[in-house]
Structure formats: C-alpha cells, structure tokens
Chains A and B, each alone.
Chain A
Amino acid sequence: MTTDRRGTIQSVERAARILKALGTGSSRLGVTELAERIGLAKGTCYGLLRTLERQELVEQDPETGKYRLGPATLQLGNAFLDNHELRGRSLLWADSLASRVGESVRVGVLNQSTMLIVHHVFRPDNSVQILEVGASIPWHACALGKAVVAYLEPGERETLLHGPFMQLTGRTFTDPESLERELVGVVDAGVAFEDQEAVVGEAEIAAAVFDHRGHPAGAIGVAGSVERLMPDGPVAGLVAAVKETARGLSRDMGAGRLAARGGSNV
C-alpha cells in the first residue's frame, strides 16, 4: 500500500482492499471478519460489499452468508491477460519451446518483488499438472525473477536487493551478497538458473525478454525436475533453447538486436 494518499479516494481504496482480502488467504469471509481485517466499521464494510455485489465483483454465499469474489473478477482477470502484450506475444514461442524440450514453460513479469506468472504451458506428457497462471513467486527464488532483476536499472535493482527475502527451501538465497553474485552470473551467461530454491526437487532455466526500449519486459523459462534440467549442471541443449526463445520473443517485442541478445542497456 502506498503511503502517499494525496489525490486518492478513500472509499475506492477500501473497496480495493476488500477485493484483495478476498483474493488472498481464506477466500470466504464474513462482514465482521472482513471489517476487522481491513480496519473498518462493520456498517461501512457492509455498504462497500453491497456496492461491490451489485457490480458482481463479490458475491454472498447463500448458505453461510460469507462473501467471496464474484464472476466479474474473472472477466477482469481474463481482460488483463488478453491485453498483456508480453503474454500475447509469448503464446506461440512458449508452445514451441515446451514441445521442443518436453518441459513446462512459464512466462513471468515483475510485480513489486514477485514474478507474476502470466502464461504457463504444461509439460507435454499428459500428466496432471496445475495451472500456475496468476501465481506470484518471490523474484529471488526463481530463475524468471533473477533473469529480469539482473537487467533492471541500478536503482531498482538495489531496492529489490534490500529484501526482505522469504526462505522457501533450504537452498533459497536470502542474503543480498549471494543474490548480487547470482545477478552478475545472469548477465555473464545471458541466462538465469534456479536449483531447488523455490520447491525442493525442482529447477528452472530462464532468460529475460526485452522490449523496444531495451528494458526487461519479463522472462521466459523452462521449469521441471532438477534431475532432468540439471543432472550435472544445467543441460546445454535446454539453456540454448531458452536463450534462443527469449531472443526471438524479444525481437517480437520490438527489441533491437543487441538488447535481444541480452542487455545492451547495462
């Protein structure tokens, strides 16, 4: 939440916080619980909920009387994804990368300190997998995040390197020095690696995607079991495929040849 509230409208902010509360953590909340969580009088909270309900942004469970997100939120979410330039341009690239290497592919963009997954192609082996679109992975615990942060302007990078860093596994880097070394490695190699830093047993190889200004618009990478991706270090063929895909996608995003190769702006 921003500390500078000049020019903002309190009731809109409160309504937004209600939606966010229903979108994270326990997804069904009563008026009293919601009012407490957000720090509102119960009557105010109720009025906001009624307004949101009329707009189909929330709905009330007829049995329990608790509130949950409404159908209009799905339309908003879909509209966000449909209008997302990197996602739109990545669809074909991600499909072709997944079928070429036989692994799952994710595309992410930096959102504050997490990577928001905007596209996910399943590993093409007919196994049951869970769609990760919409997941927010701490940037420091995934290759997608390291790939993007490595090419940010120094000021933005410094801010993110201050943390705090959540420990997701025993291998998550949680100190600025190690993460800075990781980022230097990303720029050297033009590709980022993650070895069981988010989930035990899983690894990721990702590269940044650049826009027409040469700024990192996001990243694309393959994620899968560490035995397949990094049996004795990263598999060279996978690394090459990821880098090639990121270069092609960057060109589609309007990046110049140098930027598409990885970081003319640094």
Chain B
Amino acid sequence: MSDGTGTVVRIDGALVRRWVRLSADQISANRDYLTQLDAAIGDADHGVNMDRGFAAAMTDLAAGVDLVPGEVFAHLGSTLIYRVGGAAGPLYGTMYRETGAALGGETAIDPEVFLTALRSGLEAIQRLGAAVEGDKTIVDAYLPALTALERELRAGNGFSSAAHRAAEAARDGARATIPMQARKGRASYLGARSVGHQDPGATSTALLFAALASAVDDRT
C-alpha cells in the first residue's frame, strides 16, 4: 500500500476494514462531543447512536477477514441501518450500502473507481434527505471531501495525499456549518436555534474522512 506519486495504489479489503476500525475509534473518542452538538438542535443521541452502530459493525466484521471492499461496506451499511436510530442510521447506512453496491465484487479497487463509489454514497444521502450544499447537513462535509479527493487524484498526487486533503476539506466543511441556519431535518423547523452550532452530521462525516486518511497511512 505504498503511495509514492506514480505508484498504482489499489484499495483492498484490508484497507477498507482498517477504515471501518479507525472510523469506530474516531466516533467512540468523539461520542460525547457529537452528542453535545446534537443536543443544541437534535435529539442528543447522535454520538451515542453512531458509537453503538460502529461498535456493532466491528463485532460483525471481526469474522469477515476475507471480505472484499464491497462486502465490507454492505455489511457496515446494514448494521448501521438496523442499529443506529434517528436520521443517522438510515443516512449513513444507505450511504455505505450504495458505496458497496457500486464496488461490486472487486478485490482491489482503483482510486478513481473508489471515488465514483463514494459519490454514489453521497447521492443516496441526498436522495433520502433531499439536501444540497448549505442546508447544514452531512452533505456540507461530504461534498467538499469528494471534491478535494477528485482534484488531488486528477492532479496525480496519489491516494494518500488525496485522502488527507479530503479529510481537511471535510473538517473545514463541517466548521463552515456553524453560522448556517438548518434547512433540513428537525433543526429546520426549530428555526434560529440551529445558528451558531456546528452540524453534528457534518462533524461525524469529517471524522469518517479523517479515519480514511489514517487508514491509508497506517499499514498495521
């Protein structure tokens, strides 16, 4: 999984499982923070729900060491749909399932194909939530992350560099939700209460992209 520029990097089942493990770690470490963000405008269960979902996914995936990337995402998506309540379960669950479906049975995936699959995941989220950029949702972190990923890959900067730029873009995107007034979800009809709070969904998405960047570097 070396990633010097010009080296062909392929995304395999081990890398994707590492991404899931590091995602679970990130969510767990930030559980209270996510819940605190959610308490301002949501039901104060985002951190707890996501942590429960990813912990369950880790248990489910422990047996599946020979799963191909598409299968890992399919399992993760189903677990999140069944185990995570609120809006996050269906949104993230469907996102991973669509990503997995787009990858199919491939064992080693080209970064460009991976990007396309992640984009199918984003489209699934937008279909369910009818959200566009600026609505103060997951989309505000996810979309800039994909834009950065694509830009870096097109520039030939390699997958590792691209994943790091994507993580930064997602983090900046999440921060940019602070002054926004929510136009989707419960926060949208609670009016001004959403202004001044970072969106919990955009924040958890930023954590997932941070985990992707670590997963690419980490070769354990």
Q: Which residues of A approach B to under 8 Å, CB–CB? A: 23-27, 114, 127-130, 132, 135-138, 167-172, 196, 198-202, 225, 227
| Nearest CB in chain A to that of B137: its residue | A200
Contacts of A129 in B (CB 8 A): 43-44
Q: Is the CB of B43 within 8 A of A168?
A: no
A199 contacts which chain B residues (CB < 8 A)?
87, 185-186
Q: Is the CB–CB distance between B192 and A26 below 8 Å?
A: yes
| Extra pairs beyond A130-B39, A202-B86 (17, CB < 8 Å) | A25-B181, A25-B195, A127-B44, A135-B190, A136-B189, A138-B189, A168-B185, A168-B189, A170-B126, A170-B127, A170-B129, A171-B128, A198-B189, A199-B185, A201-B90, A201-B91, A202-B186
Contact B44 A130 (CB under 8 A): yes
Contacts of B91 in A (CB 8 A): 200-201
**B residues in contact with A168, CB < 8 Å:** 130, 184-185, 188-189
B35, B41, B86, B126 pick with most chain A CB within 10 angstroms? B86
B139 to chain A, nearest CB (A): 12
The interface residues of chain B lying within 8 Å CB-to-CB of A128 are 35, 39, 43-45
Give the shortest distance, in Å, between B203 (CB) and chain A (any CB): 17
Residue ID in chain B nearest A141 by CB atoms:
B189
> Given A199-B185, A200-B90, do A135 and B39 touch, yes or no (CB 8 Å)?
no
- Distance between Cα atoms of A137 and B191 in the complex (Å): 10
Find the residue from B43, B87, B88, B128 having the highest chain A CB count within 10 A: B43
User: For the complex, what is the distance from the CA of A198 to the CA of B90, rounded to whole Å?
Assistant: 14
Chain B residue, CB-CB nearest to A225: B85
CB proximity of B45 to chain A, nearest CB, Å: 7
Q: How far is the CA of A201 from the CA of B186 in the complex (A)?
A: 11
> How far apart are the CA atoms of A172 and B128 in the complex, in Å?
10
A-B pairs with lowest CB-CB distance, top 3: A128-B44, A200-B87, A201-B87
- A136 and B191 form a contact (CB under 8 A): yes
Most buried by B among A170, A201, A225: A201
Closest chain-A Cβ to B136's Cβ sits at a distance in Å of: 13
In the assembled complex, how far is the CB of residue A225 from the closest CB belonging to chain B, in whole angstroms?
Answer: 5
* B89 at the A interface (CB under 8 A): yes
Interface residue SS majority, chain A: loop
Docked Cα-Cα span, A45 to B126, in Å, equals: 41
Interface majority SS on B: helix, strand, loop or mixed? Answer: helix
> For the complex, what is the distance from the CA of A129 to the CA of B128, rounded to whole Å?
23
Residues A24 and B192 in contact in the complex (CB < 8 Å), given A167-B130, A199-B186: yes
B200 sits at the interface (CB 8 A):
no
Closest residue of chain B to A136, judged by CB? B189
Indicate if B42 sits at the interface (CB-CB under 8 A): yes
Which B residues form the contact surface with A (CB < 8 A)?
Answer: 35, 39, 41-45, 85-91, 126-130, 181, 184-186, 188-192, 195
Q: Are A24 and B191 in contact (CB under 8 A)?
A: yes
Contacts of A172 in B (CB 8 A): 130
A196 to B195, CA, bound (A): 24
B195 proximity list for chain A (CB < 8 A) = 25-27
Given A135-B189, A135-B190, A168-B130; A130-B89 close (CB under 8 Å): no
Within the assembled complex, what's the spacing in Å between the Cα atoms of A102 and B193?
A: 27
Establish whether residues A200 and B190, one from each chain, have CB atoms under 8 Å apart when the complex forms: no
Residue of A nearest to B128 (CB): A170
Known: A25-B181, A136-B191, A137-B189. A169 touches B128 (CB 8 A): yes
Complexed CA–CA distance, A26 and B188 (Å): 13
Name A130's contact: one of B42, B86, B88, B188 (CB within 8 Å): B42
Q: Which residues of A contact B90 (CB under 8 A)?
A: 196, 200-201
Shortest Cβ gap from A127 to chain B (Å): 7
User: B134: shortest Cβ distance to chain A, in Å?
Assistant: 14
Task: Kindly identify which residue among B45, B88, B130, B185 contacts A127, using a CB–CB cutoff of 8 Å.
Answer: B45
Known A-B contacts A127-B44, A201-B90; the reply to A169 vs B192 at CB < 8 A is no
Partner of B129, one of A27, A136, A169, A202: A169
Write out the residue numbers on chain B whose beta carbons fall within 8 Å of the beta carbon of A25: 181, 191-192, 195
Q: What are 15 of the A-B contact pairs (CB < 8 Å)?
A: A24-B191, A27-B195, A128-B43, A128-B44, A130-B43, A130-B190, A136-B191, A168-B184, A169-B128, A169-B129, A170-B126, A170-B127, A196-B90, A200-B87, A200-B91
